[in-house]
Amino acid sequence: MLLAELLVDRKGEILDSWVDQVLTTYPEDGSRFFKKEKDQFANPVGYAVKSSLWAVYALLFEKNETEGIVVCLDQMVRIRAVQTFNPSEAVSMAYILKRVVKDFCRKDNVADLEGWHAFEEKADILAYTMFDLYVASRERLYQTRIAEIKSGNHITTDGGCPSKLMDKMAPKAELKPL
């Protein structure tokens, strides 16, 4: 069997495993919730991960296109950019996919070196694209933060109302016993 055939024939199993392993990168409680809850509105993170990965997989391995992957990945990468992931963890999906497909190749005794090179090239494009999107999202966050600080709006977003902040900043008067 060729790797390209495996990627199409076992699509559902590969995708389920890939989504499961990506959701496992979240903390245990969140991971469990993201895997269990199917409603898009109750679970926007899990939904974004699953829909993004399924769409990217279809583009790369069924349609053989790289054109639309930015649109497919954008929402998921934006979500991961505001979470507490290291950059390498935030864009680890491509490497997780490589590991998943390797496991399926071992199980099905697929030794298609030429197919593996083509697969790795697509997975690398996925990784580069995710990294570019992640960096752009982080840059937008920092620019927004700088704009908040320059305009003075950071006071309301950093800790509540200005009068409360004034209380924190004012020196405390010491009460002396009579």
Residue 160: left if φ>0, alpha if ψ -120 to 50, beta else—which one?
A: left
pLDDT over threshold 90, residue 160: no
Structure tokens, 96: 């997780």
pLDDT tens readout for residues 28-40: 998 999 999 888 8
Q: Does domain 3-168 have CATH number 1.10.490?
A: yes
DSSP 91: T
Burial of 106 (0-12, 13-18, 19+ CB in 10 A): exposed
pLDDT tens readout for residues 122-131: 999 999 999 9
Query: Which pLDDT belongs to residue 151?
Result: 80
pLDDT over threshold 80, residue 68: yes
- What are the distances in angstroms from CA 147 to CA 4, 18, 151, 160? 48, 38, 6, 18
pLDDT tens readout for residues 70-129: 999 999 999 999 998 899 998 999 999 999 999 999 998 888 889 899 999 999 999 999
Query: Which pLDDT belongs to residue 145?
Result: 83
Q: Which pTM was predicted?
A: 0.79
Question: Among residues 120, 117, 98, 114, which one has the least CA distance to residue 17?
Answer: 98
Region of poorest pLDDT, from 30-44, 136-150, 163-177: 163-177
- What are the distances in angstroms from CA 162 to CA 99, 145, 170, 173? 51, 18, 12, 20
Averaged confidence pLDDT in the chain: 86
Percentage of the chain modeled with pLDDT above 90: 59
